[in-house]
Amino acid sequence: MSAPPVSATVLSFEDARRVVEEQAALIQIEVQAGGRESVDLLAAPGRALAEPVLADRDLPPFPRSTRDGYAVRAADLSQIPVTLDVIGEIKAGEKLERIPANIGSGQAASIMTGAPVPTGADAVVMVEYSSQQGKQVELTRGVVSGENVVPRGAEARQGSVLVDRGVRLNDAAIALAASVGKSRLQVYKRPRVAVLTTGDEIVAVDATPGPTQIRNSNTYSLSAQIQRAGGQPVLLPVAPDETQALRQLIELGLRSDLLILTGGVSMGRYDLVEQVLSEMHAEFFFTGAKIQPGRPIVFGKCDPGVPTREKPVTYFFGLPGNPVSTMVTFELFARLMIEALAGQSPSKVRFLHARLKGDIRIKTGLTRFLPAVLSGEFENSEVELVPWQGSGDIAATARANCYVVLPPDREKIPAGEWVPVMMR
C-alpha cells in the first residue's frame, strides 16, 4: 500500500507547545472521568489527586500560640513595663479543664508554642521579654492585638478544599492530607507509555556492538523521564527500519495510553515512522518544530484498532533519534501529555533566569535549548554553555545540569545578560 503523503507542518516552539497544551487539556477531562485507585499516603507523592482533600475541622482547630511566652490582653500592656498575675500554664496538647476559662484584665497565662490561647487573651508576649517571680510576671515589651496568635480557622475552614483534584501531590500536599486524617488517598491510575525505538543500527545495552552499531540509550533515558512525569514505561523491542515490522510494533504500542517513538522521523530514505503512521490513517498535529535540538519532532493521534478499548484514539510522539534531541523534546512536549494522562491539570512551561557567563553567537530561526551548567550560589547564579558536538553528544549533556533557552531572533547574546534556563 502506498502512503498518502504527510503534509509537513512545522510550527514555532510556542505554537507547537500550544497545540500539545490544547490536546492535553482535552485528555485531562477524559482521564478525570476514568480510572482511579486508592493508595497509602506514603505511596502518594508524585501521584495526581482524584478526590479533593477537605479540612475535617477548622485549621487551626483553636487559636494557636506561635511563641513560648504569656497570653495577655494587649490593652493591659499600653504602659511598659507592667506586672501581671499569672493564673495558669498552658502547654501544647493541654487538657481543656486545665486551661483558664478566661484571662481577665491584669492577668496572664504562661503559654507554649502550639498551645491554645484562652478566652480573654488576644496576644502572646514572647518569653524573651518577661521575668516571672512566683505568681507574677513583669513584661517589658508591648504587643498589638492578635500578635503571635493564629485565630481558629484562619488557615482553613472546616469543609473547605485544601488540595484540589488534579493536583500532583508534593510534600506540602502530603503533609496537609496527613493533617486532616487521610491515611489513604484516591489518585488517578498511572498511564502506560509505550517506548518504541527504531533503527537498524541500534543494539541492546548488553550486546557487543559491531563497528557501526550503537547501543540503545534512548529507551533508558525515556524510561527515566516517563517515570519522573508520572507514567509507567512499557518497553517494546527495537524496530528495524522496515515498514512491516515497524507497523506491527506501532500497532502494539498504540494499545498503551501513549506511544513514544524515537528515531526515523528525519528526511532520510530509511526514516519510515511518518510514512507508516500515515498508512495507518494517523492524524498529524505537527511534523516539526523550529527548535534545536529536536526539529523533526512529530505529534499526532491514531486509532489503535482495538474496538474493546475505552479510549478511541492514542496519541503518539515521534521524537528524533539523536539522544539529546530525544531528551529535550520529551521535556518540551511529551511530558505534558503524560502529566495529563496521569490526571494532572496541564501546566505551562516556565523557565528560571540566570546571568550568562560568556557571549553566545548563534544563527537565527530556531529556538534553542542548549546544554549548560548553572553555577554560582545565592543570588549570583550564572549559566554557561557546555561545549558539545551537537545533538548526539550525550557525554556533554551529562556534564550539564540545565538547558539555556535562546530565542530564534537574536544572533548574539552578550555575557551578563539574564537568559531563560530550563532545569533538567
Binding residues (CB under 5 A) for Mg ion: these are 199, 263-264, 321
- The CB-of-247 to ligand AMP minimum distance in angstroms stands at 17
Interacting partner of 218 out of ligand AMP, Mg ion, none (Cβ under 5 to 8 A depending on kind): ligand AMP
Query: Among 147, 201, 303, 382, which residue sits at the site for ligand AMP (rule: CB under 6 A)?
Result: 201
CB count, 10 Å around CB of 123? 24
Handedness of CA 399, 405, 410, 413 (dihedral sign): negative
Q: Which is nearer to Mg ion, 28 or 197 (CB)?
A: 197
Q: What's the rounded Cα separation, in Å, for the pair 226 and 189?
A: 14
Q: Which is nearer to ligand AMP, 262 or 278 (CB)?
A: 262
Query: Among 166, 191, 253, 264, which residue sits at the site for ligand AMP (rule: CB under 6 A)?
Result: 264
By the rule CB under 6 A, 287 interacts with ligand AMP: no
Residue 67 DSSP SS3: coil
By the rule CB under 6 A, 322 interacts with ligand AMP: yes
Q: Which is nearer to ligand AMP, 28 or 218 (CB)?
A: 218
Residue written as grid cell 525505538: 197
Which residues, numbered 62-81, are part of the site for ligand AMP (CB under 6 A)? none
CA atoms within 13 A on the CB side of 194: 24
- Beta strands in 327-401, from DSSP E residues, in sequence order: 352-356, 360-361, 367-375, 382-385
Interacting partner of 323 out of ligand AMP, Mg ion, none (Cβ under 5 to 8 A depending on kind): ligand AMP
Q: Which is nearer to ligand AMP, 152 or 424 (CB)?
A: 424
By the rule CB under 6 A, 293 interacts with ligand AMP: no
By the rule CB under 6 A, 223 interacts with ligand AMP: no
Q: What's the rounded Cα separation, in Å, for the pair 302 and 285?
A: 11
Read off φ and ψ for residue 422, nearest 5 degrees. -105, 120
Instruction: Tell me the C-alpha to C-alpha distance, in Å, between residue 216 and each of 157, 198, 323, 393.
Output: 54, 9, 9, 14
Q: Which is nearer to ligand AMP, 61 or 237 (CB)?
A: 237
Q: What's the rounded Cα separation, in Å, for the pair 69 and 48?
A: 42
Q: What's the rounded Cα separation, in Å, for the pair 368 and 377?
A: 25
- The CB-of-292 to ligand AMP minimum distance in angstroms stands at 14
Q: Which is nearer to Mg ion, 63 or 264 (CB)?
A: 264
Binding footprint of ligand AMP on the chain (CB under 6 A): 197, 199, 201-202, 214, 216-219, 262-266, 268, 271, 320-323, 392
